[in-house]
Chain A
């Protein structure tokens, strides 16, 4: 099906993009031919989204070649990319809810009659023609409000067709769809392919990738790994390409003595977010919380720590019940949470290193109710030292430092509380490789000292390399509990998507 003799519609080679000191995309390489569905796979953080955003005109590349329809391309806005013939369909489309389906399709380029008035009749007819061609049954006159996500995606596709897009990029389009909706989307996608358009399809689900695509490109850590024909590859080969390295080598996990239960979460529920969540974390144990982005892992952690409320259930630390929705009480009891988003939740970027490290222990720093800058400096300095924070002085603003150093400050801030349980959400997101392994060594050491650690991570190798036990979360439920010895990428991935499959089968039946 791949038309090798025709010129590719999209050619990317060695495309690079860095945000500050963090390289999000080191070597983006992708060649898409017309009449082909090209799957782009990789773990979270492999650089797929950055690559797509460059093609869509959202980001500017720092280096590399980018050719579209055999011409060098440099889009400075999404409008540029759209005009050139690139359409992107996101997981959750953004339509104008109060406008009709037709108006949404033709937004900004409505056909006009001779009197400069919008030709409504022509628009509706054209929309109906597109829907007929796609074989979908949608009323072009109805408002977009209340349409399912699947239907909204169809409207986005219709928009792409009316624009006569040459390249259609679908970023995890099936994440929120039911089984039948996926089937319809795939049918539409195939008919677009047969019309000679190039299609890029991003998905975490291997069954869909094998079902729909003819070519697969694998990315890892911001780099191009390889391109294979779908018919000539297998599930195992893809996983090996995605995970790549021998995971044990990179992660210096030393076995620690596992002690008593420190955290005991029992039947935690929050309507619409997570359900029937029960687990324990023991002293000296690192428990990994794996799953897809949006599965509810961070939400569970936040509820345990008390930043978010929960409807029912109990959280116990060393046998004592922790009141819900009270982070102050959780900290007092010996809980620490290093949040996912350092910049918005972990640190005050405009404040000094000393202020940040001292932020969670102020009640202990005070003498007769008073706290001084000097007491903060004296309390914070040893922690900065232990974590080898690179800063000129304790008075430097946290915002001036690199991501890796900011993360060290965040860790120092929470270790200073002398916790018994450390919850760490995405411990190495957006930090350089050197600091990454430092953080991993630190976590291992902390567990060795008897700290209970709950680690949330979207990086599979990190979870498999660091955790003594892996809990897999899917759609707000714990779907698997795997011991270190039995945890493999396939098993985790399967559990992380398992529930979707069950729902889909149920809907298809």
Chain B
């Protein structure tokens, strides 16, 4: 019989009575900075401000940007990016990375296509199957990272190729396009009479779930601890392996959902769908102020990072700038955002050189 370890309140020693020194216990301010400093003097707010600036600039000087269709297509375009950025944030905060997300999207696209078009399953059933496959993919990654303790960079580079290979292998170079039109039109439908696409609803629900998970649960607190120092986390009773496993499973499930949306939106199921999207996701997360080494970051910054990439891309496309140039700009922004903390630290350390002190 395994022991269930519970504590009863009556047995506890009266540790509360103990104080150090003779003085009465002192009290503390909870914060050493005023509320406005904590809210606005952050990397996250810098990104939000940058987003606002770019938004204003695009509205003023980019033709057609202020038109009603721009926002609609912007939201349709960035929905997969936004969804996957959420679990990716959790993973990067623990100091790991998941490069296989776009391949899971591709595999999910193929699974939903085969199940729906070839086997004739209803779309919800086919979608559920695709999400199960996504969970399995995430669990596969998570098993090797959390329990075998392999570096996630190596594991997910491997599964990036593995899952993509499975996707292309299942369907070859053909594309399945014969989807139920009710469902494909749903993917691009709007909420009521507005021009806001319906996909915003699941995206907002996911955002709420992940914000609560990361910022308002013991699990989320533990993720930061793992990212800073997994040994301390373990000593504090954080189940490090299980937490890592959960983040990778979430990543697999959300990537599969994004894959279903992607398939329905473009009405085709292909093995090479969403190729290379993982880089855009990681770029958005880092741009949003999440530290690549783990331990630091917040979801409002990541959401702003995704929107910033979306707004820049769509504004420049309207300006007639080619995709290559857009990629160059996003690449430069990304490196700048990763470098910012180091530049700040460097400036703080810099002191004019004094004469050598000899003892």
Contact = CB atoms under 8 A, between A and B. Distances in A.
B67 interface: no
Given A346-B235, A438-B20, A333 B224 contact: no
Contacts of A372: 216
Given A328-B237, A344-B229, 11 more contacts: A307-B234, A334-B12, A344-B232, A363-B218, A370-B212, A371-B221, A393-B32, A395-B30, A396-B32, A413-B236, A442-B18
Nearest to B295: A350
Contacts of A483: none
B30 A347 contact: no
A197 to B, nearest CB: 28
A320 B15 contact: no
Interface residues of A, number: 70
Given A320-B3, A370-B212, A394 B237 contact: no
A346 B30 contact: no
A358 B218 CA distance: 10
A408 B245 CA distance: 33
A123 B222 CA distance: 57
A94 to B, nearest CB: 25
A362 B13 CA distance: 20
Interface in A341-373: 344-351, 354-355, 358-360, 362-363, 365-366, 369-372
A329 B32 contact: no
Given A307-B234, A328-B237, A362 B30 contact: no
A415 interface: yes
A391 B236 contact: no
Nearest to A339: B235
B327 to A, nearest CB: 33
Q: How large is the interface on B (under 10, 10 to 19, 20 to 34, 35 or more residues)?
A: 35 or more
A362 B221 contact: yes
Interface in A112-170: none
A208 interface: no
Given A332-B7, A333-B5, A362-B218, A449 B28 contact: no
B341 to A, nearest CB: 12
A486 B129 CA distance: 71
The 9 closest A-B pairs by CB, nearest first: A385-B25, A362-B218, A393-B32, A333-B5, A450-B13, A393-B29, A377-B30, A331-B237, A359-B236
A446 interface: yes
A418 interface: yes
B234 A393 contact: no
A385 B231 CA distance: 27
A365 B28 CA distance: 19
Contacts of B221: 355, 358-359, 362, 371
A394 B13 contact: no
Interface string B186-206: 000000000000000000000
Max chain A CB contacts within 10 Å: which of B6, B13, B16? B13
A23 interface: no
B217 interface: yes
B17 interface: yes
B19 interface: yes
B216 to A, nearest CB: 5
B239 interface: yes
B206 to A, nearest CB: 18
Interface of B: 2-3, 5-7, 11-21, 23, 25-33, 212, 216-218, 221-222, 224-225, 228-229, 231-239, 295-296, 359
Contacts of B2: 323
A386 B20 contact: yes
A369 B16 CA distance: 25
A393 B28 contact: yes
Contacts of A365: 218
Contacts of B28: 381, 384-385, 391, 393-394
A360 B236 contact: yes
Given A382-B25, A442-B20, A451 B6 contact: no
A447 to B, nearest CB: 10
A202 to B, nearest CB: 26
A369 B221 CA distance: 12
A155 B15 CA distance: 55
A75 to B, nearest CB: 13
Contacts of A371: 216-218, 221
B3 A386 contact: no
B199 to A, nearest CB: 28
Contact of B15 (A358, A381, A451): A451
A438 B26 CA distance: 16
A392 B29 contact: yes
A84 interface: no
A233 interface: no
Contacts of A433: none
Contact of A420 (B13, B26, B218): B13
B30 A354 contact: yes
Contacts of A449: 13-15, 17-18
Given A320-B5, A360-B236, A393-B30, A445 B218 contact: no
A385 to B, nearest CB: 3
Given A344-B232, A346-B235, A348-B228, A392 B32 contact: yes
Interface string A177-198: 0000000000000000000000
Contacts of B7: 332-334
Contacts of A234: none
A374 B29 CA distance: 12
19 contacts: A322-B5, A327-B237, A328-B237, A331-B237, A334-B12, A347-B232, A350-B296, A355-B224, A366-B217, A381-B28, A385-B26, A386-B18, A387-B20, A388-B21, A388-B23, A393-B29, A418-B13, A446-B13, A449-B17
